[in-house]
Amino acid sequence: MSPVERFHADYVAPKRGRTLVVGSRIYGERPDRRALFADAIGVDAVHGPGVDVVADLEQGANIGMFDHVDCVSVLEHARRPWLLAATIERLLVAGGTLYLQVPFLWWLHAYPSDYWRFTVEAIRSIFPAIEWHGLKYAHQQLADGGKIPRMVTPAGHVYLARTEVCGFGEKA
């Protein structure tokens, strides 16, 4: 089981009801994340397959309230991720849940641009209304903040493999 799959098994329990899938555009062979939820709306900054609403959530949006928000690999593409985070918090009902996955160490990739990488502490900072049930680094295994394992190559050079921050929490 991958560290992300382990995180899901250990922490993720979305509140049933209306779900917002942030960054819902389908690229290549990726699955439509809206299919994971009974009542889901997909929002993205650009039109394409999997997108129900085109909106820049940094600017806010009047798309209703949601019981759960699924936000995977999106925050790094926001010019001002703290504004996107504030919109997500505003769109969540009290007691609503948030699943978040963002890169800590990952290659640069465009959509339309790639701006940020996040630590666990950064996620806590930009989502102050979320009570995190799980907030971990997913590396070769799940790790708490400050305890990211390293791989050392045979030549002695330190190499850090792809690492993401996974979080699941509830709006207070």
What is residue 29's DSSP assignment? T
147 or 21, which is more confident? 21
The reported pTM is 0.92
16-63, pLDDT tens digit by residue?
999 999 999 999 999 999 999 999 999 999 999 999 999 999 999 999
Residue 151 CA to residue 165 CA, distance in Å, equals 18
**Region of residue 78 (left: phi > 0; alpha: psi -120 to 50; beta: else):** beta
Token pair of 58, please?
């940094």
What is the pLDDT at residue 109?
81
Q: What is the CA radius of gyration of the chain?
A: 16
Question: Which secondary-structure segment (H or E) carries 5?
Answer: helix 3-11
Question: Which secondary-structure segment (H or E) carries 90?
Answer: helix 81-91
69-122, pLDDT tens digit by residue?
999 999 999 999 999 999 999 999 999 999 999 999 888 887 778 999 999 999
In 109-153, which ranges are continuous DSSP H helix? 120-126
